[in-house]
A and B are shown apart, each in its own frame.
Chain A
Amino acid sequence: MTIAEKMYLPAVFQGLSITMRHFFKKKATIQYPEQQRPIGKEFRGLHVLRRDEKNRERCTACGLCAVACPAEAITMVAGERKKGEEHLYREEKYAVTYEINMLRCIFCGLCEEACPKEAVFLQNNKMAPPRYERDEFIYGKDRLLEPLDAGNSKENIKYRY
């Protein structure tokens, strides 16, 4: 070491000046609950089952999403549409139950790509929230299906197209 290095003090002052510069820098903190980090447009978050323009369920329980799913997180039971249910389901076949296990899901988006009816989407503004119990991670139609009033308002939920 040179004498200047052995005296420590020049290096100490250099270090102090560096930390002082950081003192005045803009802070990187995001004030979380009030202020949220912007999520990219391509982000794949929580799934949603869409309705069509007449508020009917788009899903026809073809099972392509379940086939495409590499994590085997999607299960469904298909049922036949009865008379008088035309306002509920768009086609003759519909999903009686439709469940996604969020513990298995890897949010790859292959279900979205596989769906021929544009029924399942991964929202880019909503993440799968944390839960306390394992069974709470199995999302049924009650939590996946788009609410009725949200029908065609694209402002409420942003989809990836």
Chain B
Amino acid sequence: MPILAIQAIIIITIFGITLLIATYSTYAERKVAAFLQDRIGPNRAGPFGLAQPLADAVKMFFKEEFIPAKSNKWLFIAGPSLAMLTACMSSAVIPFGNTLRFEGLPEIRLQAIEVNIGMLYIFGVVSLGVYGVMIGGWASNNKFSLLGAVRAASQNISYELAMGLSIIAILMMTGTLSLREISLQQHGFNWNIWYQPLGFIIFLVCAFAETNRTPFDLPECETELIGGYHTEYSSMKLGLYLFAEYINIFVASAVMSTLYFGGFNFPGMDWLEANISKDPQLAHNIVTILGTVVLFAKIFFFIFFFMWVRWTLPRFRYDQLMNLGWKVLIPLAILNIVLTGGGILLGEKLGW
């Protein structure tokens, strides 16, 4: 059963990479924030402050664990667990690379699980994520937490609609829900962003709202809600909430790179595969690994972009948020679907 063992290794690796990137996102966030504000940021723990996430984790684990007296204890614990669980599950279907070929082994796909409904799976899991926030806010038995949770829930639901609609245009073009298939169709430089710029902008805005990032970070708002849905949380339970947010950013960046920016494809990969080595197997493997590196570069850019926007834009007011979601993004997404459909029909007529 070598294929199962390999699959297990890949699943564990992807899980580990997800956690590692989320950990260092907290560090990167502080560094980026500092740099954008003409500061230096953490630089005391380890070289360049690289041990800062470790120090933060130690602090989180040693803080007092506090559960409010009138809270529902089980739900109070279930909230952050759910947030973390759903965040960790969603990176499973993202193709982090093409295939690796070895003598005497079946092709190894650099993807934890290959399902032909990958996009639906991600939507399903991500929409579960709102339960973590909602249950946490409800179980705290604090009206500010509840308000934060309600805002989070309504925001996530509103923007999930627009997000789903913006995806439909991509699905019409590609004709598949499998993220691997979508990646493979964008071979070379044939990226979806060239055909779906409007869809990408809608998706990007919705991704910001779904991950509760500024300018859509209404669930947590010190000035209005003390802390928002996690006001009553302390210690690692708060840590899990914040950590889940960073995992969500990573997954959102990965999905954006895969759907619109070619995933593991990069321009000139055919030429490279033909010229890099006489051994076609080795050439294929090298290109695959390069593709993975390229994908991670794209992902890191998007993670940086999330942070860049956070320290640029102020938070939306709640009615502005709802206006943007329902009156702007959803009609735009529908328009995008119509345009895409028209484009596809026109293409068939002209025989492209």
Chain A residue with the shortest CB-CB distance to B215: A12
Q: With a CB–CB cut-off of 8 A, which chain B residues contact A29?
A: 39-40
Pairwise interchain contact A19-B39, C-beta atoms closer than 8 A = no
- Per DSSP, chain A at the interface is helix
Chain B residue with the shortest CB-CB distance to A26: B38
Q: Report, as a range, how many residues of chain B touch the other chain.
A: 10 to 19
Q: Does A15 contact B (CB under 8 A)?
A: yes
Binds A, one of B134-142, B263-271, B272-280, B308-316: B308-316
B167-182 to A contact mask, C-beta < 8 Å, 1/0 = 0000000000000000
Q: Among B35, B38, B40, B313, which residue has its beta carbon within 8 angstroms of that of A12?
A: B313
**How many angstroms between the C-alpha atoms of A29 and B37 in the bound complex?**
11
Q: With a CB–CB cut-off of 8 A, which chain A residues contact B311?
A: 19
A161 vs chain B, min Cβ distance (A) = 38
Q: Does A27 contact B (CB under 8 A)?
A: yes
Pairwise interchain contact A16-B201, C-beta atoms closer than 8 A = no
Pairwise interchain contact B36-A15, C-beta atoms closer than 8 A = no
A32 vs chain B, min Cβ distance (A) = 11
Q: Does A1 contact B (CB under 8 A)?
A: no
Pairwise interchain contact A20-B308, C-beta atoms closer than 8 A = yes
B35-50 to A contact mask, C-beta < 8 Å, 1/0 = 1111110000000000
B352 vs chain A, min Cβ distance (A) = 30
**How many angstroms between the C-alpha atoms of A50 and B39 in the bound complex?**
41
> With A9-B201, A27-B40 known to touch, is A15 a contact of B312 (CB < 8 Å)?
yes
Chain B residue with the shortest CB-CB distance to A12: B313
Q: Does A3 contact B (CB under 8 A)?
A: no
Pairwise interchain contact B39-A16, C-beta atoms closer than 8 A = no
Q: Among A16, A25, A28, which residue has its beta carbon within 8 angstroms of that of B308?
A: A16
Pairwise interchain contact A22-B36, C-beta atoms closer than 8 A = yes
> With A9-B201, A16-B308, A20-B308 known to touch, is A25 a contact of B313 (CB < 8 Å)?
no
A6-31 to B contact mask, C-beta < 8 Å, 1/0 = 00010010011011101101111101
Q: With a CB–CB cut-off of 8 A, which chain A residues contact B201?
A: 9
A13 vs chain B, min Cβ distance (A) = 10
Pairwise interchain contact A16-B312, C-beta atoms closer than 8 A = yes
Pairwise interchain contact B38-A27, C-beta atoms closer than 8 A = yes
**How many angstroms between the C-alpha atoms of A23 and B31 in the bound complex?**
10
Chain A residue with the shortest CB-CB distance to B324: A8
B223 vs chain A, min Cβ distance (A) = 21
Q: Among B37, B40, B309, B313, which residue has its beta carbon within 8 angstroms of that of A22?
A: B37
A22-53 to B contact mask, C-beta < 8 Å, 1/0 = 11011111010000000000000000000000
Chain B residue with the shortest CB-CB distance to A20: B308
Pairwise interchain contact B38-A19, C-beta atoms closer than 8 A = no
Q: With a CB–CB cut-off of 8 A, which chain A residues contact B313?
A: 12, 15
**How many angstroms between the C-alpha atoms of A23 and B313 in the bound complex?**
15
A119 vs chain B, min Cβ distance (A) = 43
B285-325 to A contact mask, C-beta < 8 Å, 1/0 = 00000000000000000000000110111000000000000
Chain A residue with the shortest CB-CB distance to B35: A23
Kindly list 11 other residue pairs between chains A and B, CB separation below 8 angstroms, not including A12-B313, A23-B36. A15-B313, A16-B312, A19-B311, A19-B312, A23-B32, A26-B38, A27-B35, A27-B38, A27-B40, A28-B39, A29-B39
| A–B pairs, 13, beta carbons within 8 Å | A12-B312, A15-B312, A16-B308, A16-B312, A19-B311, A19-B312, A20-B308, A22-B35, A22-B37, A23-B32, A27-B40, A29-B39, A31-B40
- Kindly list the 9 A-B residue pairs having the minimum CB-CB distance in the complex, ordered from nearest: A19-B312, A29-B40, A15-B312, A19-B36, A23-B35, A27-B40, A16-B312, A28-B38, A22-B36
* Chain A residues close to B by CB (< 8 Å): 9, 12, 15-16, 18-20, 22-23, 25-29, 31
* Chain B residues close to A by CB (< 8 Å): 32, 35-40, 201, 308-309, 311-313
